[in-house]
A and B are shown apart, each in its own frame.
Chain A
Amino acid sequence: MTDRLPGFSTLAVHAGAQPDPTTGARATPIYQTTSFVFNDADHAASLFGLQAFGNIYTRIGNPTNAVLEERVAALEGGTAALAVASGHAAQLVVLQQLMRPGDEVLAARKLYGGSINQFTHAFKAFGWNVAWADPDDAGSFERAVTPHTKAIFIESIANPAGSITDIEAIAAIARNAGVPLIVDNTLASPYLIKPIDHGADIVVHSATKFLGGHGNSLGGIIVDAGTFDWAKDNKYPMLSEPRPEYHGIRIQETFGNFAFAIACRVLGLRDLGPALSPFNAFMILTGIETLPLRMQKHCDNAKAVAEFLSTHPAVSAVNYAGLPGDRYNNLQRKYAPKGAGAVFTFSLKGGYDAGVNLVSNLKLFSHLANVGDTRSLVIHPASTTHSQLDDAAKVKSGAAPDVVRLSIGIEDKEDLIEDLDQALRA
């Protein structure tokens, strides 16, 4: 028996799954149940006290979800993971373990718009403050760290423009500041980038996107890298102090290098409640089995489409890190050599009206607010997600009136190019 790391595709198919002990079912069964029968009173008590391995209630854990959790932990190179109802739920549960009123999260200015909303409005109501820094300038993070900073939050490949973040530079700043680095790896997926290898302490996903990959199920994942010492200076009492709801056990002392994932489960998910449906876990697991195949095709198609657009007479600019000469091309070659992902933006010479026309003339691309589907997707942010902003604010957030965002699917690239070409000419 050798301790040799199997390849990514083998893990994508096998990690966490095993033929069902009772039925022999080879595919992971959907344990569509709220609760699990105890052997006896003593068994029940030891499960509730976190003393025994086993299932209690699906808000806290479920065998189908557990397969998904172990699989993503293995793909990301983490010690453990937790599945939750959505990417936003993952962000909420992670920060709830780290933040108290008056604490601050230092976040990259380039984030998915929904995350900017969540941090700015919902978290503010909890008394959690957010400070913003520029992911293209690691020094801006260093300058923004204060004694109240409890975490740094970035995206590996940022939505919407597909820019690549210098994870190692920001990880070094987090280490010096003594705070964990949280990386949203949604747009890259572990097939393209494994943030833990570059210094991330926690990875979050909207599994809704490339992990699930078929646009059919919401889901979120939290991965614990097992790298952060939570007990060091008592900055994170949820992990280092005795927990009254569990007879005074200390999470870090009891669970060691997967303590953070356990805290997210037994304190965060248990009390906040955004559990993932086992059915959705099954759908996402099935999606992950083909993640390496799909992701490569997404990237190859996106590169072909970006190349086509970059020479099109109706297009003024293409932001795709996979194109030579793009400002993020060097970072892409370092962090994501297999491809620059499938989400990017481009600008139209014809401005706002050309954007509206393009979207309505496309026949294969779907006009909707999602990314990471097998199908190719398009959105014109200025007339939809960012329509409430004035023109100056639109430009600042990467949603200038002439900007269109694509999420390239796994269709035949010739058909995608032809569809874009006819819509740009129409």
Chain B
Amino acid sequence: MNHDAYDDNYIRSILNGVKSIAMVGASPVNVRPSYFAFKYLAQRGYDMIPVNPGHVGKALMGKPFVASLADIGRPIDMIDIFRNSSHIMPVVEEALKLSPPPKVIWMQLGARDDAAAEKAEAAGLKVVMNRCPKIEYGRLSSEISWMGVNSRTLSSKRAPVPTQGMRLSLNRTSFGGGQTAASDRAAKNKTEST
């Protein structure tokens, strides 16, 4: 698996396939990226669970915080890890102990741990690193286009007007893989030099 550049179909199949997402490191502070990614994914119809031992007793958009993955108490499709690269491995190890284990481990923009990814992939999980699911969902649905982002998708179909809680179609025609050839190259150079 090449983690410097992802094929759109790989990301699309994950975002189309998962229903429940546990966000490790979710913050109740409404200016943190984890807060607005959580809110966006909830508004697009995902069953979101905030995981953060520091905020047990509080809720995020009406969903109570749990202290750990083990405390969720039901099967979860995807774990979105909002922690620095150095805190990824213990979360992945904890996730692999769940029964059944999740189908997908997703590490946020800026977070990458290749050893943890290998471990999860060896157990049959799909892994995405250094990406934001909100940005990817917005890109593949082209909802992000308002800010001039190259969605790298085309469509001649009339799009539905998005409403609250509505899942958007991610099945536009993609062109190119990853994030654009140039930025993929830059990411690869960065990985190789660190």
Contact = CB atoms under 8 A, between A and B. Distances in A.
Interface of A: 1-6, 10-11, 14-16, 18-22, 24, 39, 46, 49, 51-55, 61, 63, 65-67, 69-70, 73-74, 77-83, 196-197, 225-229, 246-249, 253-258, 261-262, 265
A148 to B, nearest CB: 24
Contacts of B176: 3, 5
Nearest to A54: B146
B152 interface: yes
Contact of A253 (B9, B109, B142, B190): B109
A53 B146 contact: yes
B151 A70 contact: yes
Contact of B158 (A21, A52, A82, A256): A21
Contacts, number: 152
Contacts of B179: 79, 226, 257
Contact of A24 (B30, B109, B158, B173): B158
Interface residues of B, number: 52
B83 to A, nearest CB: 13
A63 B148 CA distance: 9
Given A6-B154, A66-B145, A253-B109, A21 B159 contact: yes
B149 interface: yes
Interface in B155-190: 155-161, 164, 171, 173-177, 179-183, 185-187, 190
B174 A1 contact: yes
Which among B130, B146, B187 has the highest number of chain A CB atoms within 10 Å? B146
B186 A228 contact: yes
Contacts of A1: 9, 171, 173-174
A256 B132 contact: yes
Closest A-B pairs by Cβ, 10 of them = A69-B148, A226-B183, A247-B31, A51-B36, A73-B150, A227-B186, A19-B158, A80-B149, A256-B109, A21-B159
Nearest to B8: A3
B119 interface: no
Contact of B154 (A14, A247, A249): A14
Contacts of A78: 150, 180, 182
Nearest to A43: B164
Nearest to A16: B145
B150 A256 contact: no
B67 to A, nearest CB: 26
Nearest to B131: A256
Given A5-B176, A52-B40, A70-B151, A77 B8 contact: no
A3 B155 CA distance: 14
Contact of A3 (B130, B145, B175): B175
B158 A261 contact: no
A66 B36 CA distance: 22
